[in-house]
Chains A and B, each alone.
Chain A
Amino acid sequence: MADRPNVKDILAKARAAQASSEGEQPAPAPVAEPVPVASPVAAVPSGRPLTLKEKLAAAKATAASAAPSAPASAAVPAAAAVVAPAASAGPAVKVPTPAELGRPLTLKEKLAAAKATAGGASAAPAAAAAAVSTAKPAAAARVLPPLAEMSDPKDLVEALRQTASKPVAGKAAVAARPAVKKENLNLPPRPNKNAAIAALQGTRRRFMIGTIPAVAWVILAWTTFSVALVAFSAMLGRFFFPNVLAEPPSTIKVGPSSQFEAGEVNERWKAEWGFWVVRSVYNGQDMLYALSTVCTHLGCPPNWLVSEQKFKCPCHGSGFYVSGVNFEGPAPRPLERFKLSVGEDGQIVVDKAQKYQEELGQWNDPDSFIPV
């Protein structure tokens, strides 16, 4: 929030100047009238009702102007009434209306306008004097309905709010003065952010002072929350590194090959280990192999039906021959084999870590079976 006017402000200023020099379209209120009556309606395109945004801006402007206008007019009766205080000090002394611009106001412009009026409100008493000379071009400021004529509840609320913060305005005026001085050159009024900021800070400061405990609580709450969040994340991270990792070993001994009879499907390891040890003839060779008990369709465990000599899945009816090859139901590929090897003690070791899939030609791998 430096003193340097930014592009937007300059633009707004220029527009204001143009508008005021061009003519009376923004309709400064008659000098004699003690209360600015020129309502926003005057400055607004006649063809449509005010938008909410415009009403809001208008409300702010009015509130700002209405409140301090009394003292101002006491000092400089001629000018004060017209030059709503907003006019003398506000950065966008002249708030470009959509009608003048030929386009709707941008958000920035609206913001600037709002700030200007707010600043103007507080700077009013001081500015009043200067206004005599400088305010003419600025007279175009949005002068808005007086209290008595307010129909929009938002206007009323804003006015009340401004009235409440009026006492502080005097202080802010000091800050506003330099800005006002500059305008002695017959230039369009410059945006004076300082005044606005000062005004705002005035209110803000009081707000802060009055509510230090509340702020402290907020800080405390956020700090606690952050600490808790960090602690929880740490706990979560710790959770991924358990002290004991109960990962079952992937290998198990199933006994010597002589233990398995021809054509046998041994179900001993189904429940705990998830494989059958099968001794059967496959491709003309008598062999032992370990078949996974996970159906290749959707992962249900099939049952071995001895009488039909097939594995049959209870979920969708896939069927597999004793070899593990699928032949009915939706299963798209045969059951998977696990790796078999003969240990040093002559026992067969099944290693679940290694799978062999028929459709990939892996059943020819000598590790996928043990010839008998």
Chain B
Amino acid sequence: MNHHPDLTPGVMAALSWFYLFSSILNACASAYISYGELVSEGASRDDLGPKTISMPAWLRTSTWVFYGFGGLFLLINIQIAYWLLAAGTVLLAIFSTADAALFAEHESHDTGLKASLNRHQPAIGIGGPLSRPIISAIWSFVAMIFAAMGMTYALGAEYAMPQLFRNAIDNASGATSFFTISTLAFIAMIVYRKLVANGILAWAALNFSFLFFGLSLTDYDFRDIVTKPDNVPIIGLIYLVAYFTWIGLRRAVINDARMAKGLPNLEELGSEKTLTWPDLVYTELIAVVIGTVFLIVWSILLQAPLEQPASSTQAPNPSKAPWYFLGLQEMLVYFDPWMAGVVLPTFIVIGMMAMPYIDTNKAGNGYYTIRQRMFAYSTFQYGFLVLWVVLILLGTFLRGPNWNFFGPYEYWDLHKLEPLNNVNLSDIFWIQWLRQSRPSAILIREAPGIFLTMGYFAVLPGLMYAVFFKKYVMESGFIRYSVLAMLLLFMASLPIKMVLRWTINLKYIVAIPEYFFNI
């Protein structure tokens, strides 16, 4: 259902630059792998032989010439600038791989060498040694592909994401599947954290996200949502959150592997101190300058997303909270405002405050670790990543008019029909199961829900104790456990309620609108 053209000259120009940018990143990665002195975290270069291959001067010069002139031509003729930059990128990609391959061949002849910086050994826990020529070749290849895609757009050829794909993704991305996939991905991230921590796989994931993003931008509706000034920062948020999560996870994986081998962890190796002057102050100064420039450019390029004057009888459709509250707004879809707006946020805040008192595990103090703090890490990250960040993404990109759920490539149809008929648990119990009308006495009517809720809070703590928390109670005492169990149950109530809403259209477990009490 397309009301607008997917590709316009402006979009194609932007896409050609987007792919060029991705290509440059990959060419640089290739050159880094080929020429860089890769020293892994926690490894010392002191006992390694020197790096014997370095970037040839002619390549360095010519790359800078291409990029320099490219930059210059940005002001004069943007087309010429594009081709200059593209040529420089291709040159860099080709020759860094070629050099790596050539050197590998040389090195394979003299075997008696001691370990050298040429043979890169990733950090402990990350995996086996990697072959520079192969990795360099892969990134060069990716760089060439991206460059080719960009050039195709620059030459005026139109290609867009196949409609088949879009439909498939739209169909797959219901609220249910989106949330379920996020949860599964989160579990996978923790279980396969050794793979995730691998820099090569992470870089590959980054490339896939570029490809996905670039292809998606060919869709009008996707572009429309993503390029809203409101939503641009959320794209940044995806990459920032992903990056910081990854870097913490990687260091934790390395630390865990090191400690398993009896080695000191990374934080013990590095000196914690740095000179305030000039090191820290200069760093801060540079960060301040860059941040200021970035904000100024941003505010010039993207207009402030102001809307119509506020009115008590007209709300924008959809009416979205500020991005940082979109998780809360999504919670409000599943709960009474009293619950989602007051009780649950209070528990979030109280839970945060209670953390230091509940957490009696002294491991992980001053260093990254997952193994020693599995429960704390996974619980917090689930609450933050899935129950907050993912809900922000969902609210930003996938909630459309009338707060309906829309796929990323779906037209925001004001009249999208989503047949929903939410029912309370009392309806299900009395009318559907017992085939009788609901009793008029409120407490009897809501008895099933009340018993269920009470059971949830009364039985589950005991069950959890028996299955998971015996050791914790021994160590930390019963009161701490009670608080922890309550907080956990409240946290779990959100996904539980969401799933119930999606699966059986459950509105409220206990519904007493007469007294504004709905759970």
Contacts and interface: CB of A to CB of B under 8 A. Distances in A.
A83 B144 CA distance: 99
Contacts of A328: 418, 420-422
Contacts of B422: 327-329
A333 B421 CA distance: 14
- Residue with the greatest number of chain A CB neighbours at <10 A, chosen from B414, B417, B422, B516: B422
Interface stretch (B73-81, B225-233, B400-408): B400-408
B341 A312 contact: no
B403 A315 contact: yes
- Residue with the greatest number of chain A CB neighbours at <10 A, chosen from B315, B335, B404: B315
A336 to B, nearest CB: 12
B420 A314 contact: no
A170 interface: no
A297 B332 contact: yes
Given A271-B314, A328-B421, A359 B332 contact: no
Interface in A318-348: 319, 327-330, 332-333
Q: For the side of the interface on A, what is the size category?
A: 20 to 34
Contacts of B334: 330
A200 to B, nearest CB: 49
A122 interface: no
Contact of A270 (B313, B513, B518): B313
B59 to A, nearest CB: 57
Given A319-B420, A328-B422, A314 B318 contact: yes
Contacts of B35: none
A358 B211 CA distance: 54
A330 B335 contact: yes
A298 B337 contact: yes
A316 B333 contact: yes
A31 B112 CA distance: 93
Contact of B507 (A272, A316, A330): A330
Contacts of A329: 333, 403, 420, 422
A274 B404 CA distance: 24
Given A316-B403, A332-B513, A301 B314 contact: yes
B404 A317 contact: yes
A307 interface: yes
A319 B403 CA distance: 10
Interface string A296-313: 011011010101100011
Contact of A308 (B316, B319, B417, B511): B417
A327 B403 CA distance: 15
Contacts of A327: 420-422
B506 to A, nearest CB: 11
A330 B317 contact: no
B273 interface: no
Interface in B490-518: 507-508, 511, 513-514, 516, 518
B319 to A, nearest CB: 4
Contacts of A293: 313
B333 A314 contact: no
A214 interface: no
B336 A332 contact: yes
A328 B316 CA distance: 20
Interface string B154-196: 0000000000000000000000000000000000000000000
B329 interface: yes
A360 interface: yes
Q: For the side of the interface on B, what is the size category?
A: 35 or more
B415 interface: yes
Q: Which applies to chain B's interface (DSSP): helix, strand, loop or mixed? A: loop
Contact of B317 (A297, A314, A316): A314
Contacts, number: 83
B213 to A, nearest CB: 28
B312 interface: yes
Contacts of A297: 332, 336-337
Nearest to B329: A316
A298 B332 contact: yes
B402 A314 contact: yes
Given A314-B401, A315-B319, A360 B335 contact: no
Nearest to A361: B514
B394 to A, nearest CB: 13
B335 A301 contact: no
A49 B254 CA distance: 49
A313 B402 contact: yes
Contacts of A301: 312-315
Contacts of B417: 308
Interface string B391-413: 00000000001111000000000
Given A297-B337, A327-B422, A315 B315 contact: yes
Contacts of B313: 270-272, 274, 293, 301
A317 B314 contact: no
Given A298-B332, A316-B403, A308 B415 contact: yes
Nearest to B330: A316
Contacts of B341: 298
Interface in B297-318: 311-318
A294 to B, nearest CB: 9
B319 A300 contact: yes
B317 A303 contact: yes
B403 to A, nearest CB: 3
- Residue with the greatest number of chain B CB neighbours at <10 A, chosen from A270, A314, A328: A314
A211 B420 CA distance: 81
A272 B311 CA distance: 10
A75 B289 CA distance: 75
Nearest to A274: B313
Contacts of A271: 311, 313-314
Nearest to B424: A332
A316 B415 contact: no
A367 B334 CA distance: 34
Contacts of A305: 402, 414-415
A274 B315 CA distance: 13
Given A327-B421, A327-B422, A328-B420, 12 more contacts: A271-B313, A274-B312, A274-B313, A300-B315, A300-B319, A305-B415, A314-B319, A314-B401, A316-B332, A328-B418, A330-B336, A360-B514
15 contacts: A270-B313, A271-B314, A301-B314, A305-B415, A313-B403, A314-B401, A317-B404, A328-B420, A328-B421, A329-B422, A330-B336, A330-B337, A332-B511, A332-B518, A360-B514
**Those 7 A-B pairs whose CB atoms lie nearest each other, nearest first:** A317-B403, A333-B513, A328-B420, A314-B317, A312-B402, A315-B319, A359-B513
